[in-house]
Structure 1
């Protein structure tokens, strides 16, 4: 039991290091299992990131208004997360936009560090929608909606690893945290992602869950058809799109 808890603590620490830019107060030497298990804790990292976003919205809104508060929350989230998932979305825009139907070309473009027109346009739309969505959240959801959207979207993206194989064969930044999620390693992110829904009204929670499931299914079909599996960029793009979809879904559901 102690060994299992220690193993999960190391996996959580690896998730913290991989999915954020926040340093740990102690130095750990992670092994391959730590990195592979880190993805199961990804939604818990999302809960923390969502809590930061919600706190900024709650505290800054009364001082400067919803628009500025949303901009501050968005900027801090990008800083703490290193824009990692947004970068994945931009790479997917370039890859799928410029690669046509050629799988190898798509993968090569996605790996290229240069930013193309498709990525620029896609990121402008993505960040603009997220900014506006955060600014439009009703007062009663300023804290909870970002937490629920961040956690559930990460759970949905992690769920792709249960039905798809990793599409790349060569070395890549995402390779250490890739694995085929099964059993406890799959149940953990799903449970963590759904946990914040318990604090939402039943209708809102069920609708949000349906949106996340639909996003997961569409992403799985798209990635399987175009790439034959998932990539780190694909997971990041899926997380970003589902997160925004959840925020947009919750806004009208909470309206009086």
Structure 2
């Protein structure tokens, strides 16, 4: 499969858009596709930005609910699932690495996962409503974009905590020379959106550093679920910061 398909691999992996690639990507291609994770986030944010205007005459709360529904549908709740599994494991793991990893593999969701999901969606909904009320549509672009910039940054700087599987294959085949340049380029683009972009960048970086610190302290690395949790945390933090 040609490298021209790498953006499509990234889009297929991070979204529920039906994309047929003709063949299963190799681990090397999955790794190189991380270069285009920010592009997927920017496309998603651009779509939300456009919908923010399209639904402009809609009742405010319904407007916010529709945008949040599209947001969740785009990724198929992939990152929310990671957040839920991480929340259950973090509380149930009682500070123990192996117990935390074992609970994270359990597909069942406990009460902690449900509470965290409800709180996350409620905070996002309220932040989106506040942003729409102030016509601050840039946040709809910046939040998903920066969250998907944070993903390859996490994979680049954090070891994989659980051997085997797609996550390990991805970590083993990261384009480690090209990724820093890609991340720097995306960071440099943030000021083009004005002060909002700078604030969003600082907030996203702060959340990333805090979450990575917690992951290293508990797991000595990251997993697919904790990476998904990072996406949700960055999105929520950026929305709230720009709504305040």
TM-score by length of 1: 0.87
> For residues 22 and 194 of structure 1, do their structure 2 counterparts lie closer, same or farther at Cα, with a shift above 3 Å needed?
farther
Consecutive unaligned residues of structure 1, counting only runs of 5 or more, are: none
Aligned pair count reads 242
Contact 2:200–2:238 at 8 Å: present in 1 too?
Answer: yes
Aligned with 2:225 (options 233, 238, 248): 233
> For residues 190 and 231 of structure 1, do their structure 2 counterparts lie closer, same or farther at Cα, with a shift above 3 Å needed?
farther
User: 1:26: how far off?
Assistant: 5.3
> For residues 190 and 155 of structure 1, do their structure 2 counterparts lie closer, same or farther at Cα, with a shift above 3 Å needed?
farther
Contact 2:45–2:144 at 8 Å: present in 1 too?
Answer: yes
> For residues 95 and 133 of structure 1, do their structure 2 counterparts lie closer, same or farther at Cα, with a shift above 3 Å needed?
same
User: 1:219: how far off?
Assistant: 1.2
User: 1:73: how far off?
Assistant: 1.2
Alignment match, 1:200: 193
Matched, 1:148 2:142: yes
Q: Distance in 2 between matches of 1:217 and 1:183?
A: 21
Contact 1:20–1:80 at 8 Å: present in 2 too?
Answer: yes
Alignment match, 1:122: 116
Alignment match, 1:65: 59
Matched, 1:46 2:41: yes
> For residues 162 and 175 of structure 1, do their structure 2 counterparts lie closer, same or farther at Cα, with a shift above 3 Å needed?
closer
Alignment match, 1:112: 106
Contact 2:83–2:228 at 8 Å: present in 1 too?
Answer: yes
Q: Superposed, which structure 2 residues align to 1:58-97 within 5 Å?
A: 58-62=53-57, 64-97=58-91
Q: Secondary structure at the match of 1:137?
A: helix
Consecutive unaligned residues of structure 2, counting only runs of 5 or more, are: none
Contact 1:223–1:230 at 8 Å: present in 2 too?
Answer: yes
Matched, 1:178 2:135: no
Alignment match, 1:30: 25
Q: Distance in 2 between matches of 1:110 and 1:89?
A: 10
> For residues 178 and 229 of structure 1, do their structure 2 counterparts lie closer, same or farther at Cα, with a shift above 3 Å needed?
same
Alignment match, 2:157: 163
Contact 2:35–2:152 at 8 Å: present in 1 too?
Answer: yes
